Structures are given as C-alpha cells and as structure tokens.
Chains A and B, each alone.
Chain A
Amino acid sequence: MIGALVFVAWTRFLRTPRAWLAALAWWAIALAVAVLSHREGTLHGADRSLLGTYGGLALPLLSYSIAGGVWGVGGVARSIAPVVALGAPPAWAAAATIAVCGAACAIQGALLGATVAVIAHGLSDPPRIHDGLVTAYVGGLGGLAYAGWFSLGASFGRRGGGRTAALVINWALGPWAESTAVVTPLGHVQNMLGGVPPLGISERASAIALLAMAGVFGWAAAMRARSAPRSIGDRRRSVI
C-alpha cells in the first residue's frame, strides 16, 4: 500500500507543470546570480551567491514550489482525500506524501546548491569540488527541513494556505532576528553556509536541528492529517 500512496504523490508532483515551471524559475534566478558573481571576479563569489540568493531566496522558494506541486492547491486534507476515501489510513497517506516532498526538496536543493557553488566559485573560496559537495550536503538537509516545514504549513487553512504563511514566517523569524532564527530552517541553513549562527550554535548543531525539523514538522503534519475531514465535501464536523 505504501508504494501505491507514494506513486499517487509522486505522480501528482510530476504532472503539475505549474510547480515545475516555478522551480525552474528559481533555478534560473540562482544560476544567473552565480554566473554574474563569477564574471565580476569576486574573491568570495560562492559565499556571496550561496548566502544571499541561494540560501535566503532560491532554496526556500524552490522548496515552496515543490511542496505546492506535491500537495496540490488544496493542502493536506484535500490531497489525501482520494486515497483516504479508498481506505488508506490518513496518517500513512500524509506520511507518503511528506516522504515524496522531502526527497524532491532534498535532491533539488542539493543539486542547485552544488551547481551555484561550482559556478560562482571565487579565488578565495574553498576548493571547487569540496565546496560543491559541502553545499550539496547543506542544500539537501535544508530541502528536507523545508519539506517538513511547508508540509506542516499545508495542513493549516481550508485550501492549504498555511504553506504561504510558513514561507512568510520563515523570512520574518529568519536571519534578521538571531534568537528566533533558531526555530526556522532559514536560520540554520544560513549558519551552515557561513552566515550568522542563531544563538551562536555550531554548524553541527544546525545540521542536527535541520534533521530534527524535518522529522518533527513532518510528524506533526501527518498527525494533523489524522483529524482532517475524510471527505472533501464534508468540511463541517459533527457538533459534539
């Protein structure tokens, strides 16, 4: 059954061109900035591109677009309703979708990060290959955490509007406020890319925090799916 649930979520993602086009746009913007940075001959070209455009803008928005494609426009309740109506446990259906979202965000985040690091490489940056691999690691972890973050967001709101709220909260509490950044994926991704550490924590602690976020937020989204209306036409609950 798990295979069938993963198939449904994966197919929805693959057959949603809107999500792919949005993801491509963020790829294009991140790569364009990386190319410009390299052409300018900046000494720390990779650092600037990764901390500024990639970590702060492209990775969150790329993950946001992918989560939108995986969950669809209706959020968690609406996207799992078809398989739940066939008898699939809601938490399993949500978990399978979160797994697909996590895999897609992690792979794309890692690939984009590595590509930006390699292209924007400056003279004072660490060796190109090493920098690319480390950025892929950070991008993968970041993508995974964002998948959980946006999945939890998509479980709020009648049409999954909480996903957009999660994006805004990520930026609002992110690197601009050192103490609150500790609860957002953005704060930890920036720390691992060489930015300001939230509450002065180490990069290793941020890596663990990103993994924990992926798990905790994903688990919370799956648990919220258990109490979601089981039929999309039945929004009102019985009065207890």
Chain B
Amino acid sequence: MIALEGVSARRAPFALARVDLTWGPGVHSIVGGPDDGGRQLLALVAGDEPPRRGRVRALDGDPRDDRVRRRIARVDLEPPLPEALRVDEMLRVSAAIRGEPARPATERLGTLGLEALALRRISSLSRAEARGVALTEALTSTRSRVLLLVEPLVAVDGRAVARLPEAIRAKRTDGSVVLVATSSVRDATELAQDHLFLHRGSVVARADSLEQLAIAALCQKDLVVVVDNVASARSWVTSFSRLALADRVEQEGRVVRVRGRDALALARAAALAAGQAGVNPIELRWDAPSLAEALGASRAISADENQREIAARRTADANAHGGSSPGGGL
C-alpha cells in the first residue's frame, strides 16, 4: 500500500538516499529521534514533501494526487485545524472533504472519550485536546486508508491516551496501513507490529519485534519486578544478588529493575529469588530498551546480517570456483 522506490530526499540535518521501503496493511513504527527524519518520511508519504529523486506510491497512486490525498490522514505534533470552527463542525467538514457520510460528532469523539469537546471552538482547545481531536478525525474516518501519526501517545488529552493504543491497533483489521513515527521504543512496541530504525536520515535496521532485538542479546534487557512492599523488595534483591546474574540491580521503593544480557536466565533467577525470599511479585515485566540502546542493537543486527551475507557470498564464490583451496580468493 505504501512504497518508496529509490527515494532520495534532503532536508537539513537529515538526508534519505535511494531508499526502498514498502509497508502493507497493519501498524508499523518508524523509530528515531526528532532529527532522524521520521516526521519527514511521513511528509514524503503524505505527499506534503516532494522527493528529490525516486517515486513514492501510496494506495497504488501518487500521494500528491487529490484522490489519494483524501484517503491519507496525517497527524503531526501540531496538526493544523480550522480554528474558527467548533469541533463538531470540523468533523462535518472533514467528512465532506474526504467524501464520507457525516456521522454525529459525539459518536466519533466517543472513540477516544472526547465527546465533551464536541461543541468547543477549536481555538479554545489546548494543544493536547487539539491533538486528540485530530487523532479522532484520522482514526474514525471511514475513507482514510493510510494513517501517518507522529508521536501518537505524546502530548495528547489524558482521556484519549488510554484508548489510543486499542484504537490504533484496531485499524489493522480494516486493511489500513498505519505508520507511527516515534522516538519512544516503548510506544513503538506497544502499537506496532514491526519497526524501522532511522538514524540521521539513514535506515539503520528493520526489526519485526522487540524480541528480535532482545533475543539477539545485543541489547541489554531490563526486567522490572514489582512487589507488595519495600521490605519484600529488599528481601528479593538480597536473594537475587546471591545469584549474581545481573549487570545492574536498582531498587526504588517496591519496584526493582534488574539488567542483564541473558533474558531467559534473568527470568529464571527472578523466579528463584522470589521463592527463596518468600516474596510473591505483583508484576514482572520486560521494559523496552531506550532509543539509544535499540539503535545500537539494531545497528549490530544489521552488521551481523551483513557479515553473514558477506560470508555466504564468499562461500558461494568459493563453491563456484570448485575445489579451490580453503580461504582461496580471500
């Protein structure tokens, strides 16, 4: 549904060079900091920015084509909204422009729990409320098939935040493609099914899941253990420390965070420590790596893949030359 074919684009401080990317239906994340080019990549897909070279396709058409643009919804950090209108009027106008039947504003706003904003003037909305309204418009549009969301869980009305992940994931089922640009690995893993890592405009790696990063053991994992009181936490830490598996153990009140390279060993040790200390953990979860850690891991994955590819090519070359001495041609 979205394809970038040999696309080059440049906008200080980032530059994309001959990028080939495709995304099908589902929720996909583009992970990177504000200057890494995630927002600009979305602008290219939305047709708001022309590529320097190459071709961008969305919904089998040029995203700058008006018929295609009506089916693309882009919600940036500061979405432009018609400030003179009320929220319900804006939703009516958006339905008319997109060519979909108008529905009651409260019904649409109810998706994210923002019904109370229906009669408010947009100029009176806070930034978080305005983003909530823009996200509502994008997520409840029946015509939009491409949703381009920048940091959807950041600076959004508190009422909407709790419902957003479910509403975004629900778009998987109707055949839409949702691209989420975020600098939060946690948000990316919560919302998306695969991840593209960008660093200063370069595609560093693609990962199908956070597990791919973790299993590669190139990124240290944080295990978070929550127990019912501080004393239990201390007992648990004492037992866990005896096992000497973690690189780092941090306790803050009832919450203990341990870091190590072997995820499976960490989990086993945590369970063992709980048994030895007689503590019943309330919560045991993996924390997402930070952006820097994830980028480091994804780069390492790419390097590893490249090494494997080079090795495979050399083996193939060696086989092709038939019976040459081991290491020949190196």
A residues engaging B (CB < 8 A)?
1, 3-5, 7-8, 11-12, 14-16, 78, 81-83, 85-89, 229-234, 236-240
Contacts and interface: CB of A to CB of B under 8 A. Distances in A.
8 contacts: A1-B97, A14-B84, A15-B121, A87-B98, A234-B43, A234-B49, A239-B11, A240-B52
Contacts of A238: 9-11, 49-52
* A-B complex: 9 closest residue pairs judged by Cβ atoms: A87-B70, A4-B96, A12-B84, A81-B80, A230-B48, A82-B82, A15-B84, A82-B80, A87-B69
Nearest to A230: B48
Contact of A4 (B11, B47, B77, B93): B93
A85 B80 contact: yes
A18 B11 CA distance: 38
B108 interface: no
Contacts of A232: 78, 80
B80 A89 contact: no
A81 B43 CA distance: 14
Contacts, number: 89
Contacts of B10: 238-239
The listed residue with most B CB atoms (<10 A of its CB), out of A8, A83, A238, is A238
B80 A231 contact: yes
Nearest to B93: A4
Given A87-B71, A240-B50, A8 B93 contact: yes
B76 A233 contact: yes
Interface string B39-82: 00001001111111000000000000010011111101111111
Contacts of B50: 237-238, 240
Interface residues of B, number: 39
Given A238-B9, A238-B49, A86 B97 contact: yes
B89 interface: yes
B17 interface: no
A14 B98 CA distance: 25
The listed residue with most A CB atoms (<10 A of its CB), out of B49, B52, B71, B99, is B49
B49 A4 contact: no
Contacts of A233: 76-78, 80
B85 interface: yes
B52 A239 contact: yes
Contacts of B76: 231, 233
Contacts of B11: 236, 238-239
Nearest to A236: B11
Given A238-B50, A239-B10, A239-B11, A88 B97 contact: yes
A231 B97 contact: no
A11 B84 contact: yes
A231 B96 contact: no
Contacts of A5: 97
Contact of B97 (A11, A12, A83, A236): A83
Contacts of B43: 231, 234
Given A3-B96, A87-B98, 11 more contacts: A1-B99, A4-B93, A8-B82, A11-B84, A85-B79, A87-B97, A89-B66, A229-B48, A231-B43, A231-B80, A238-B51
A218 to B, nearest CB: 20
B8 to A, nearest CB: 9
A230 B321 CA distance: 57
Given A7-B93, A231-B48, A236-B11, A86 B84 contact: no
B302 interface: no
A98 B223 CA distance: 60
Given A16-B84, A85-B80, A87-B98, A11 B89 contact: yes
Nearest to B94: A86
A106 to B, nearest CB: 22
A8 B66 contact: no
Contacts of B73: 86
Interface string B112-155: 00000000010000000000000001000000000000000000
B74 A85 contact: yes
Contacts of B83: 12, 82
A240 B8 CA distance: 10
A4 B94 CA distance: 8
Contacts of A229: 48
